[in-house]
Structure 1
């Protein structure tokens, strides 16, 4: 496919707030190898990962993923902010997220979190736990309607439980990772959420799957 056709296929709906989760998984359901998703990566997966960022207004990610994956801030020509969810205040101002960026990140946290002063737009969205409905509403209030959810599994699972995930882009890596790694989503027990398959792309043995939640507009 041409880049233009790929962008059209993966484009966000207009005129509404929309959350698309982007994940890679092994064939046996592992979300990582040796603790990092990069162990499952491929050129095709990287292309879709970068495209997800290019099409979005903001990247939404949990603090655990920021620390495990060594997240840096946004550095593209038209930078999009990184919004980090942390209920416990585990972020420090010396992280690359804050020191290597061209736009201040957004930190979504709680009243109970104890953090040092951060060079960020800090949003309080709950007392003890982050209210993700408030988090999404705060992003939308900032004009950030196209939300690229990059992880981790706990944040993804909780977003699903709250009915906040509209679509899933899933790269299926042709490996059996075994081990004790997490699946791509875990969290509160909820009834299964139905998905409609929107497209399937293949590059060599890698499958690129696009799903939409069945009751999403």
Structure 2
């Protein structure tokens, strides 16, 4: 039996128990241009993971919004480390999302776009074998040629830098493919690179009502010298129980 998880809007325009359409409206992509937003969860003391995975921090409300944020996306962008740690498989949205997308003139599923400098991704994994849409792999010129050749059989492989992936080139390539609504799901190094390049437009952050301590990292990592701090403007505050689901504009 499916358990309904109420999510209320606290600000602006308070409203109780938003349905899926209201949640989609509260978190919608702009109508024009390319928009790249990032989705994360964090504990009250800044931990981005529990037992090494972000999913350990989430509850039913976070999972509900997580699925809805994918629904209108043209592409879901994820770093290779996060794909491994969170055990991603072929990117498929649920039946309700498929119906919504088709009704809005979109393909049934978004494209999975991944970033990997080393290309240490198994071409026989469910990421590719179970993908309803051919994925895109963004890599660098210095990546091993044999690994690239193997992945080219199951994905579009694009070079976006010499030794480091350039987020601007990733965004531009997705735009050229007509994939303008980009939803990034991490990890922290990818978010750091997006911020450093100035191409992250928005952040959706679930604030989990827990204190974790330990050695868990934050939602931003990597070399962001000169790029931070980045000012964030609060756009929406949602709540489910003691959990807050926040949206910020980073422009």
TM bin, normalised by shorter chain, reads over 0.9
The 1-side partners of 2:68 and 2:21 are apart by 11
Which structure has the larger Rg?
A: 2
Equivalent in 8, 15, 25 of residue 8 of structure 1? 25
Cα deviation, residue 158, structure 1: 1.0
Please tell me whether the aligned partners of residues 20 and 68 of structure 2 are also in contact (alpha carbons under 8 angstroms).
no
Cα deviation, residue 75, structure 1: 2.4
Cα deviation, residue 191, structure 1: 3.0
Indicate whether 1:176 and 2:211 are aligned: yes
SS in 1 for 2:81: helix
Indicate whether 1:149 and 2:179 are aligned: no
Equivalent in 128, 133, 137 of residue 172 of structure 2? 137
Cα deviation, residue 130, structure 1: 0.8
Equivalent in 141, 144, 147 of residue 111 of structure 1? 141
The 2-side partners of 1:156 and 1:47 are apart by 22
Give TM-score, length-normalised by structure 1.
0.95
Any unmatched runs of 5+ in structure 1? Answer: none
Please tell me whether the aligned partners of residues 235 and 247 of structure 2 are also in contact (alpha carbons under 8 angstroms).
yes
Indicate whether 1:162 and 2:197 are aligned: yes
Match of 1:83 in 2: 113
Indicate whether 1:40 and 2:40 are aligned: no
Give TM-score, length-normalised by structure 2.
0.83
The 2-side partners of 1:43 and 1:164 are apart by 30
The 2-side partners of 1:197 and 1:168 are apart by 10
Match of 2:15 in 1: none
| Cα deviation code 1:162-216 (max 9, x no counterpart) | 1011000000001111111110011222231111101111111110001001xx3
Cα RMSD for the two superposed structures: 1.0
Cα deviation, residue 94, structure 1: 2.0
Please tell me whether the aligned partners of residues 56 and 146 of structure 1 are also in contact (alpha carbons under 8 angstroms).
yes
Equivalent in 214, 227, 230 of residue 193 of structure 1? 230
Please tell me whether the aligned partners of residues 24 and 31 of structure 1 are also in contact (alpha carbons under 8 angstroms).
yes
The 1-side partners of 2:236 and 2:32 are apart by 22
Q: How many residues align?
A: 214
The 2-side partners of 1:166 and 1:46 are apart by 22
Match of 2:156 in 1: 121
Match of 2:101 in 1: none
Please tell me whether the aligned partners of residues 58 and 83 of structure 1 are also in contact (alpha carbons under 8 angstroms).
yes
SS in 2 for 1:66: helix
Please tell me whether the aligned partners of residues 70 and 96 of structure 1 are also in contact (alpha carbons under 8 angstroms).
no
Match of 2:36 in 1: 19
Match of 1:92 in 2: 122
